Amino acid sequence: MMRAVLLAALLALPAAAQDFSAGSEAAEWGLQGERKARFAARVVDILCQLAGDCPPDCGAGTRQLGLLRSADGVLVLPLKNAQPLFSGAVADLAPFCGQMVEVDGLLVGDPAMTPAPVYQVQRIRPAKGAWAPANRFTADWAARNPEAAALPGPWFRKDPRILAEIARGGYLGLGPEADRAFIAAERGR
Amino acid sequence: MAGRHRHAVRAGLALALALVQPATAGAEGRHVTVTGEAIDTWCYFSGVMGGPDAVVGSAHHTCALWCAAGGIPVGLLADDGTVYMVLKLPGADDAAGGRGFLAVASHRLTASGMLHERDGIRYIIISEVIEDHGITRRNHEDFGVVPPFAIPEAGGE
């Protein structure tokens, strides 16, 4: 019985206190407070978890998704997928809405400025399935933006939403005149 | 001795339940008004592009657009350093890459909505943007642009 109590107390320890590195094959990125973490979790719609606002299929890729970790019930927040391309993890997690998966990646964050570690998903596998890299963002983006995808360059240089914002507010967000002054100064260096 | 054992077991279970409770509580939320900058949370928390002062404001605006469009969660960085992860924004149907989030990237906002805390992270469901102050942190004068290749015309690529 004492053993069961100790186990229960261990499971209740804060996320930061536990080590999930066993079996991880995550690549190191040299990030703040980074540590490898492989764990089983259920993919959940965070709005549904917190506020009971639960559309079908977790909002079909239009909501932030979380990983409800089996070992301790902690809701882990994934910010990033495996691609070094300014891409989040929703496209990788959305197909598994409500399902149990195993993920491998990095818990990230300097404890001094991050209230709880956030997560980078590098690979994912469904229950009884094979591992797959968490790199669906660009294919998903290309399917939604076929004309832009046909142009040369990385997605973030040709995304219509980004281009519209830069056309409106400039690269600095302060208007075209601020951009012109900055670019001239940089060229003059 | 058996009584003491039972007491220890009860105390242990109570401790375990108390420690677990914060992970499952918080469904109620509470109404708050927050003023802060709409930031790219990945660069801010991961340090992938430098310290926290360099990955906010005008210096990081283009990258904030990229990350918001990439579906990385947007946060509101309050003046006291607290980051509120934004789950909903009025006028933005898509909280994972939607146009509405790009439109406020790097802007200082005063917003109200429901705050939920879960496992150390604060989440906000914004019901109203009371005021959009625009981009108030003009830190490109100190840091240039971050990353340096953000502006091709400035020789970054």
Please list, in sequence order, all residues whose beta carbon lies within 8 angstroms of the beta carbon of residue A69, skipping any fewer than 6 positions away. Answer: A15, A39, A40, A41, A75, A76
- Do β-strands B30-40 and A118-126 pair in parallel, antiparallel, or remain unpaired? unpaired
Instruction: Tell me if B69 and A178 make a contact (CB, 8 A cut-off).
Output: no
Q: Using CA atoms, how far apart are residues A140 and B69, in angstroms rounded to an integer?
A: 13
Q: Is the model's pLDDT at A58 over the cut of 50? A: yes
DSSP state of B90: T
B119 → closest Cβ in A15, A59, A79? A15
Instruction: Tell me if A12 and B48 make a contact (CB, 8 A cut-off).
Output: no
Instruction: Tell me if B88 and A47 make a contact (CB, 8 A cut-off).
Output: yes
Inter-chain Cβ pairs, chain A and chain B, closer than 8 A: 207
**Mean pLDDT, chain A, whole residue set:** 92
**pLDDT digits 0-9 by tens, B56-79:** 999 999 999 999 999 999 999 999
Q: If you average pLDDT over residues A68-90, what whole number do you get?
A: 98
- C-alpha triplet A118, A121, A123: angle, nearest 5°: 160
Local confidence band at B81 (pLDDT 50, 70, 90 cut-offs): very high
Residue boundaries of the structural domains of chain B: 28-149
Nearest to B61 by CA among B153, B144, B132: B144
CATH of range B28-149; options 2.40.50, 2.30.29, 3.30.450, 1.10.10: 2.40.50
- Chain B partners within 8 Å of A14 (Cβ): 19, 119-120
Please list, in sequence order, all residues whose beta carbon lies within 8 angstroms of the beta carbon of residue A141, skipping any fewer than 6 positions away. Answer: A91, A149, A155, A159
DSSP state of A76: E
The shortest C-alpha distance from B115 to chain A (Å) reads: 10
Which pLDDT does position B91 carry in this prediction? 87
Q: Is the model's pLDDT at A155 over the cut of 50? A: yes
- Most trustworthy range by pLDDT among A1-10, A64-73, B2-11, B94-103: A64-73
- Chain A partners within 8 Å of B94 (Cβ): 62
The shortest C-alpha distance from B60 to chain A (Å) reads: 8
Nearest to B98 by CA among A106, A53, A63, A103: A63
Nearest to B154 by CA among A188, A85, A155: A188
Instruction: Tell me if B45 and A109 make a contact (CB, 8 A cut-off).
Output: yes
A80 → closest Cβ in B42, B98, B145? B42
Which pLDDT does position A18 carry in this prediction? 82
